[in-house]
């Protein structure tokens, strides 16, 4: 396997950094690494914050369009500058050109959205590719320009993190501070347009202006970020950390905060890894670090993480199983009046025929009930409800029957079907709802303890 050898070879030949290098790096002792690390961290912070609002506004991919749409601006500025004989790679002018073309692209998006029948996704794709196509034409001119040192321009597409200079880092930090201040000042307004823009409009907020302001901030972050991580990868910093933060919280403030921190951390560690290992492309490394954050959040996130959801679901499944078992016990030993005959044992087989469940399912359920002290074994190795178990079982059966009666008398559900319908809902009946049910069916059943079942219980006595 030739390719495998190449793969293993490059991994084993990679220069693993020694301890001293790592310490020097993380204590920010080298001037160059310090500049790079701080700059990229600031970018991650800013893009995490502003990206959160964009994601909630369901405009995540707009930043994609904006980032690509900056290309013609950069090229035109370059051509104009070199025609005017100014230092043609002047940082500020190029950024200004990029920003201008980003803003024009936003206006075009708004225009197409308002005045044509094209859908949002098509509009974004059109703006992205048409601006970039125009940029490619201009790039052709740039590359043939006598002074066309196109390598510098190419840096805006793939990024050149390693060569971030002091003034770049300053710019990135100023940008981060600007974004923080703006989002704090306009927090309420942005929250409003993110969650309910129609309500915001009826309250008299200038939604369109706020939208454009928000997107203007995105343009600033994008344009300043181009330099550090490149066109495609700046998008990922605007999307991935905010999407990851969604797994941890339901509150906007924490969402913004966590996204900012995740973004900053991705920037920091991504740049650090690039500094430690040779030949790694910085932009791609930063993105992969943030993607790792995303997948970790997706699994472990405390609010919507998959593990959390799995645990919650398992808990619910257990609860349902327990309640079904208790009801099975009750209905197995129920007299004609609807009272539980105490201390009568049940075998596994008795329980198994009560509903369609598997043997190990029932066994697992009994184990849980035993642990909770609701079921014990008697002398004949039969399972018996304890006193506490009896009380619980009575309550559960009662809720089940109440709901059944309600369905028959008030919802016109056929008697033969109520059991199944009730089966789904009995586990989540709250105290208040039960009280109301009692109230509603009180007329028909004046003495309510456990009403007798309104239909023959299959497998039971009656």
Partner 1 sequence: MFLESDIWVMLAGALCAMSCACVGCFLVLRKMSMMGDAISHSVLPGLAIAFLMTGDRSGPSMLLGAVVVGVLTAVLTQYIHKQGQVEESAAMGVVFTTLFALGLMIIVYFLDHSDIDASCVLYGSLEAAATWEFEWNGYIFKTKIIQLAIILALNVLVIFALFKELKISSFDPALATTLGVHAGKLHYVLIILVAITTVTAFDVVGSILVIAMLIIPAATAYLLTQRLGLMIIISMLLGALGSVLGQLSIIYLLPAWGLPDTFSSGMMTVMVTVFLILAILFSPKSGILFKLIRHLQLGKEIFMNRVLGALYRTEEEQPNFHHLEQIQKTYPVRFKWAIWLLKRNAMVVADGKQWRLTENGEVYARKLVRSHRLWENYIFTNMNVPVDHLHYQAASLEHVTDESLLEQLAETTSLEHDPHGREIPQKKSKD
CA–centroid distance for 458 within its chain: 46
What six digits make up the tokens of 111? 């225009």
Taking the complex as a whole, the smallest distance from the CB of residue 98 to partner 1 amounts, in Å, to: 16
For partner 1, the closer of residues 280 and 391 by Cβ is 280
| φ, ψ dihedrals at 16, nearest 5° | -75, 130
Which of these segments, 59-67, 192-200, 423-431, 439-447, binds partner 1 (CB under 8 A)? 59-67
Distance CA(52)–CA(257), nearest Å, equals 9
Taking the complex as a whole, the smallest distance from the CB of residue 58 to partner 1 amounts, in Å, to: 6
349 binds partner 1 (CB under 8 A): no
Radius of gyration of the CA atoms of the chain, in A: 33
DSSP-derived secondary structure for 33-81 = HHHHHHHHHHHHHHHHHHHHHHHHTT-TTHHHHHHHHHHHHHHHHHHHH
Q: How many CB atoms lie within 10 A of CB 394?
A: 19
Determine which residue in the list 288, 393, 396, 408 makes contact with partner 1, applying CB under 8 A: 288
Q: How many CB atoms lie within 10 A of CB 307?
A: 12
Determine which residue in the list 93, 268, 269, 294 makes contact with partner 1, applying CB under 8 A: 294
Q: How many CB atoms lie within 10 A of CB 324?
A: 22
Distance CA(229)–CA(226), nearest Å, equals 6
87 binds partner 1 (CB under 8 A): no
128 binds partner 1 (CB under 8 A): yes
118 binds partner 1 (CB under 8 A): yes
Compute how many residues bind partner 1; rule: CB under 8 A: 64
Determine which residue in the list 17, 125, 152, 155 makes contact with partner 1, applying CB under 8 A: 125
53 binds partner 1 (CB under 8 A): no
Which of these segments, 61-69, 333-341, 388-396, 435-443, binds partner 1 (CB under 8 A)? 61-69
Distance CA(179)–CA(444), nearest Å, equals 66
CB 267 within 8 A of CB 64: no
Q: What 8-state DSSP symbol labels residue 453?
A: P
Determine which residue in the list 32, 83, 140, 317 makes contact with partner 1, applying CB under 8 A: 140
276 binds partner 1 (CB under 8 A): no
For partner 1, the closer of residues 274 and 394 by Cβ is 274
Distance CA(190)–CA(211), nearest Å, equals 8
* Chain position carrying tokens 């006595």: 461
281 binds partner 1 (CB under 8 A): yes
Quick check: helix, strand or coil at residue 275? helix
Residues forming the site for partner 1 (CB under 8 A): 2-3, 6-7, 10, 55, 58, 60-61, 64, 68, 112, 115-122, 124-126, 128-130, 132-141, 144-145, 154, 157-158, 232-233, 235-236, 239-240, 242-243, 246-247, 279-281, 283-285, 287-288, 291, 294, 298, 304, 306
């Amino acid at each position: 396997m030739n390719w495998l050898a190449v793969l293993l070879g490059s991994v084993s030949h990679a220069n693993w950094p020694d301890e001293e290098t790592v310490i020097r790096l993380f204590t920010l002792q080298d001037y160059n690494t310090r500049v790079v690390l701080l700059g990229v961290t600031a970018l991650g912070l800013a893009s995490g914050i502003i990206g959160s609002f964009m994601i909630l506004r369901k405009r995540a991919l707009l930043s994609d369009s904006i980032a690509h749409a900056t290309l013609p601006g950069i090229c035109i500025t370059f051509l104009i500058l070199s025609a005017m004989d100014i230092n043609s790679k002047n940082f500020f002018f190029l950024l200004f050109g990029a920003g201008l073309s980003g803003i024009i692209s936003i206006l075009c998006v708004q225009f197409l959205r308002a005045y044509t029948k094209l859908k949002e996704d098509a509009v974004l794709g059109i703006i992205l590719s048409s601006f970039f196509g125009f940029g490619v034409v201009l790039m052709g001119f740039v590359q043939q320009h006598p002074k066309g040192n196109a390598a510098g321009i190419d840096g805006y597409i793939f990024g050149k993190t390693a060569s971030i200079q002091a003034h770049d880092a300053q710019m990135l930090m100023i940008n981060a501070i600007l974004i923080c201040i703006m989002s704090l000042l306009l927090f309420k307004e942005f929250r409003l347009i993110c969650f309910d823009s129609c309500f915001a409009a009826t309250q008299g907020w200038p939604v369109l202006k706020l939208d454009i302001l928000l997107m203007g901030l995105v343009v600033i972050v994008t344009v300043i970020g181009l330099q550090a991580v490149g066109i495609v990868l700046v998008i990922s910093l605007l999307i991935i950390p905010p999407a990851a933060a969604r797994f941890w919280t339901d509150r906007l403030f924490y969402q913004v905060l966590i996204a900012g921190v995740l973004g900053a951390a991705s920037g920091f560690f991504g740049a650090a890894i690039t500094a430690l290992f040779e030949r790694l492309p910085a932009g791609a490394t930063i993105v992969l670090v943030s993607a790792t954050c995303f997948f970790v959040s997706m699994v472990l996130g405390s609010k919507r993480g998959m593990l959390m959801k799995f645990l919650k679901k398992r808990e619910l499944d257990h609860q349902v199983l327990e309640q079904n078992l208790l009801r099975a016990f009750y209905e197995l030993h129920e007299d004609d009046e609807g009272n539980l005959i105490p201390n009568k044992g049940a075998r596994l087989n008795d329980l198994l025929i009560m509903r369609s469940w598997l043997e190990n399912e029932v066994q697992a359920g009994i184990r849980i009930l035993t642990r909770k002290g609701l079921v014990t074994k008697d002398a004949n190795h039969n399972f018996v409800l304890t006193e506490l178990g009896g009380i619980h079982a009575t309550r559960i059966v009662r809720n089940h029957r109440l709901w059944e009666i309600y369905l028959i008398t008030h919802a016109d559900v056929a008697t033969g079907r109520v059991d199944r319908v009730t089966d789904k809902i009995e586990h989540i009946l709250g105290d208040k709802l039960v009280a109301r049910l009692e109230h509603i069916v009180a007329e028909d059943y004046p003495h309510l303890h456990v009403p007798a079942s309104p239909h023959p219980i299959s497998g039971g006595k009656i």
